[in-house]
């Protein structure tokens, strides 16, 4: 009988503090996929797995100033002061527009000063990291076709031209598999196996190992972001070209970028130093000539503004 | 003999309570719950609408409970939405907001039409629980009950930090509106 009374009391108390949500079968929802692995579409030089959201248009201006310092010059300090530590020099400017067809597919066009390159690109995020790490990475494909509208004399500059001019010589291609993992809230990692192809290259030889400049080669990029506050992060990325021509080549170096990224509401500012001049994969992976060791470091920034269309 | 009678009555009461309990529960119809908020600040107004929520009412005891999925707040600007989830609400850590409370006044559920009530209870946002009293309206329409409430949420009360740089963009107090249509709950 005592037991039945207890049951009754239980029944009353149950009624007083009942979990109605559980009773109707409602369960709290936790996010399935990781979000905001990176704040924006580029880290420093490298692409991230992020894409433009559906029906949004991202307008971006990327800029590289000249070398801060260059100890290969006769009077480097004077030269640096003369051009205000590179601020008077423009290495490259790129304007671009990227549009989100869906939340995972982005189409973009851009125009760079370097090599007078007009490029069209596609970015497709086809796998998303889950919060339970059952899928530990996010995968995005990035493909870019560049067309140089430089004068023909510039394209074939210094070449003994025993062949006919070919419009296809102006094209180059970059394809990338972007692998990213948000290890925790403040640390994200990036790995970028890349394939570069250029339809035409002017002959150059690496005097260290006599290897010729390749039309196509593989490159491996890597990058990381460490958040120091909710809105400010330290960013860095590096590419290593996997072809003999680029090993110990006195004329070519590998692009390295280090800097900070700050988010202010609708804007993301990336401010960093890099030895790369180019602003698109087709340019900076294959043609980075400056060297950190010589002080040939450039200040760079990317500013983007995203507009919401439709909806 | 007496023992047996008490036992029978108890079981009867228990069953009655149990059945009673079930028959008085109203749960939100599918996609009929909408939560929105408006932040009015000198530089910009920010609005977002959320359709991923549920409201449950137990007419027998005037209990009300609600839950919303924070990630379901939709903004005009997707970047803003991402920053809302990432920096302000920390939706990966605190994916849901809850309300658990009761209607203070006695409600006549047999009377059709609108009644103004106050709901007292615990509001949980961003992992912080606060005791609140919210003004609400209940509109009984046949078998369905429409609920509506509009109230202010002070952002700082729930440990949501707004950097001083954005005080002109984000209001200290945000207007929250919740509306839902409930129907008698039947176990599926």
Encode pLDDT of B118-144 as tens digits.
999 999 999 999 999 999 999 999 999
Centroid of chain to Cα A217: 19
Tell me the per-residue pLDDT of B6-64, one tens digit each, with 9 for 90 and over.
Answer: 777 666 666 555 555 445 899 999 999 999 999 998 888 999 999 989 999 999 889 99
Least Cα distance to A256 among A244, A280, A273 occurs for A273
Q: What pLDDT shows up at residue A259?
A: 94
Average pLDDT over residues A194-203: 95
CA closest to A9 among chain B residues: B14
CATH of the domain at B146: 2.40.128.110
Lowest average pLDDT, out of A107-121, A211-225, A261-275, goes to A261-275
B88 belongs to a structural domain: yes
SS3 per residue for A200-230: CCCCCECCCCCCECCCEEEEEEEEEEEECCC
For chain B, say whether A2 makes contact (Cβ under 8 Å).
no
Answer yes or no: are the C-beta atoms of A117 and A79 closer than 8 Å.
no
- Asked if pLDDT for residue A45 goes beyond 90, the answer is yes
> pLDDT band at residue A273, thresholds of 50, 70 and 90?
very high
* Residue A118 Rama label (left phi>0; alpha psi -120 to 50; beta): beta
Could you give the CA distance from residue B65 to residue A157 in angstroms, rounded to a whole number?
Answer: 75
Residue B9 lies in a domain: no
> Can you give the residue range of the structural domain that contains A199?
30-299
Mean pLDDT value across chain A: 90
List, for residues B78-115, the tens digit of each pLDDT value. Answer: 888 888 998 899 998 999 999 999 999 999 888 899 99
The minimal CB distance from A7 to the residues B14, B65, B169 is found for B14
A26 contacts in B (CB within 8 Å)?
54, 56, 67
Mean pLDDT within A211-226? 96
Do A108 and A146 form a contact (C-beta atoms < 8 A)?
no
A107 strand-pairing partners: A99, A122
* Among B128, B54, B55, B53, residue whose Cα is nearest residue B89: B128
pLDDT in the model for residue B36 = 96
| pLDDT at position A300 | 85
**If you count residue pairs, one on A and one on B, with CB atoms under 8 Å apart, how many are there?**
103
E strand residue ranges, A21-151:
56-67, 90-100, 105-112, 117-127, 138-148
Q: Which of B11, B52, B76 sits opposite A308 (nearest CB)?
A: B76
For B38-80, the DSSP string reads: EEE-SS-EEEEEE--EEEEEETTTTEEEEEEEGGGEEESSHHH
**In-domain check, residue B6:** no
Lowest-pLDDT choice from A29-38, A178-187, B92-101, B143-152: A29-38
pLDDT surpassing 90 at residue A31: no
Q: Residue A183: is its pLDDT beyond 60?
A: yes
Find residues 72-101 of chain B whose CB sits inside 8 Å of chain A: 76-80, 82-83, 85-87, 91-92, 95-96, 98
Interface with chain B: mutation pick from A2, A6, A12, A24, highest number of B CBs within 10 Å:
A24
Of A19, A265, A308, the CB nearest to B166: A265
Q: Locate all alpha helices (DSSP H) within chain A, ordered by sequence.
A: 2-16, 20-23, 76-82, 152-155, 281-284
Express each pLDDT in A128-167 by its tens digit. 999 999 999 999 999 999 999 999 999 999 888 889 999 9
Residue B62, domain member (yes or no): yes
Contact B134, B118 (CB under 8 A): yes
Query: Quick one: chain A helix, strand, coil %, rounded to 5?
Result: 15, 45, 40
Domain encompassing residue B178: 25-184
**Res B8: pLDDT:** 73
pLDDT of A265 > 80? The answer is no
Tokens 């598999």 correspond to what residue?
A177
Q: Quick one: tokens of B23?
A: 């028959």
Higher pLDDT, A240 or B171: A240
pLDDT at A1 over 70: no
The per-residue pLDDT for range B54-79, each reduced to its tens digit, is 999 999 889 999 999 999 999 988 88
B54–A26 C-beta distance less than 8 A: yes
> In A, which residues are within 8 Å of B63 by CB distance?
18, 20
What is the C-alpha to C-alpha distance for residues A182 and A33, in angstroms, rounded to an integer? 11
Q: Do A18 and B85 touch (CB under 8 A)?
A: no
Strands (E), chain B: 25-28, 34-40, 45-50, 53-58, 63-69, 73-75, 96-103, 113-125, 128-141, 144-154, 173-184
Note whether residue A19 is domain-resident: no
Domain count for chain B: 1
Pick the closest to residue A283 from A123, A91, A151 (CA basis): A91
State the Cα–Cα distance between residues B150 and A21, nearest whole angstrom: 21
pLDDT confidence of B4, banded at 50, 70, 90? confident
**Does residue A198 belong to the interface with chain B, where contact is any CB pair within 8 Å?**
no
**A131 at the B interface (CB within 8 A)?**
yes
pLDDT at A308 over 90: no
A162: region left, alpha or beta (phi > 0 left; psi from -120 to 50 alpha): alpha
Render pLDDT for B175-184 as a digit per residue (tens, 0 to 9): 999 999 999 9
Can you tell me the mean pLDDT for B168-172?
A: 88
**What is residue B13's predicted lDDT score, i.e. its pLDDT?**
63
Considering only alpha carbons, which residue of chain A is nearest residue B57?
A20
**Into how many domains does chain A fold?**
1
The per-residue pLDDT for A269 is: 84
Closest to B92 (Cβ–Cβ): which among A19, A31, A264?
A31
B45 within 8 A of B171, measured Cβ to Cβ: no
Q: Is A38 helix (H, G, I), strand (E, B) or coil?
A: coil
User: Are A118 and A149 spatial neighbours (Cβ–Cβ below 8 Å)?
Assistant: yes
B89 → chain A, closest CA residue: A230
**Helix locations, B49-180, DSSP H:** 78-83
Distance CA A129, CA A33 (A): 6
């Amino acid at each position: 009988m005592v037991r039945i009374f207890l049951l009754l009391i239980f029944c009353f108390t149950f009624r007083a503090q009942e979990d109605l949500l559980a009773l109707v079968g409602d369960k709290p929802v936790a996010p399935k996929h990781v979000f905001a692995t990176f704040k924006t579409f580029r880290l420093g030089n490298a692409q991230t797995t992020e894409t433009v959201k559906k029906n949004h248009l991202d307008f971006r201006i990327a800029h590289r100033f000249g070398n801060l310092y260059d100890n290969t010059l006769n009077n480097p300090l004077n030269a640096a002061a003369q051009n205000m530590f590179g601020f008077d020099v423009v290495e490259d400017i790129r304007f671009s527009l990227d549009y989100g067809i869906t939340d995972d597919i982005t189409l973009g066009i851009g125009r760079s000063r370097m090599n007078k390159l007009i490029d069209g690109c596609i970015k497709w995020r086809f796998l998303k990291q889950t919060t339970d790490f059952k899928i530990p990475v996010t995968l995005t494909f990035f493909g870019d076709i560049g067309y140089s509208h430089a004068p023909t004399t510039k394209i074939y500059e210094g070449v003994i031209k025993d062949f006919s001019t070919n419009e296809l010589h102006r094209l180059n291609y970059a394809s990338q598999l972007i692998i990213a993992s948000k290890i925790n809230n403040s640390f994200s990692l990036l790995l970028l196996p890349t394939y570069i192809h250029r339809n035409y290259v002017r002959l150059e030889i690496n005097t260290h190992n006599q290897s010729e400049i390749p039309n196509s080669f593989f490159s491996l990029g890597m990058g990381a972001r460490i958040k120091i506050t909710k809105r400010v992060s330290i960013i860095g990325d590096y590419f290593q070209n996997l072809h003999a021509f680029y090993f110990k080549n006195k004329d070519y170096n590998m692009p390295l970028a280090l800097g900070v990224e700050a988010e202010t509401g609708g804007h993301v500012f990336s401010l960093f130093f890099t030895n790369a001049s180019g602003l698109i994969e087709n340019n900076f992976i294959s043609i980075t000539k400056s060297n950190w060791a010589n002080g040939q470091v450039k200040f760079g920034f990317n500013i983007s503004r995203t507009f919401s269309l439709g909806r | 003999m007496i023992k047996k009678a008490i036992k029978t009555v108890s079981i009867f009461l228990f069953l009655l309570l149990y059945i009673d309990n079930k028959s008085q529960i109203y749960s939100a119809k599918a996609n009929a719950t909408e939560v929105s908020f408006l932040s009015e600040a000198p530089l910009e107004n920010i609005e977002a609408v959320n359709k991923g929520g549920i409201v449950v009412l137990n007419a027998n005891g005037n209990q009300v409970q609600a839950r919303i999925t924070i990630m379901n707040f939709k903004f005009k600007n997707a970047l803003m939405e991402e920053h809302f989830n990432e920096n302000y609400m920390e939706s990966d850590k605190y994916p849901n907001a809850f309300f658990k409370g009761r209607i203070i006044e006695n409600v006549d559920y047999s009377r059709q039409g609108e009644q103004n009530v106050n709901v007292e209870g615990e509001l949980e946002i961003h992992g912080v629980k606060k005791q609140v009293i919210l003004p609400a309206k209940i509109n009984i329409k046949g078998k369905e009950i429409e609920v509506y409430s509009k109230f202010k949420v002070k952002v700082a009360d729930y440990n949501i930090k707004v950097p001083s740089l954005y005080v002109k963009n984000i209001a200290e107090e945000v207007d929250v509106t919740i509306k839902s249509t409930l129907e008698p709950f039947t176990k599926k």
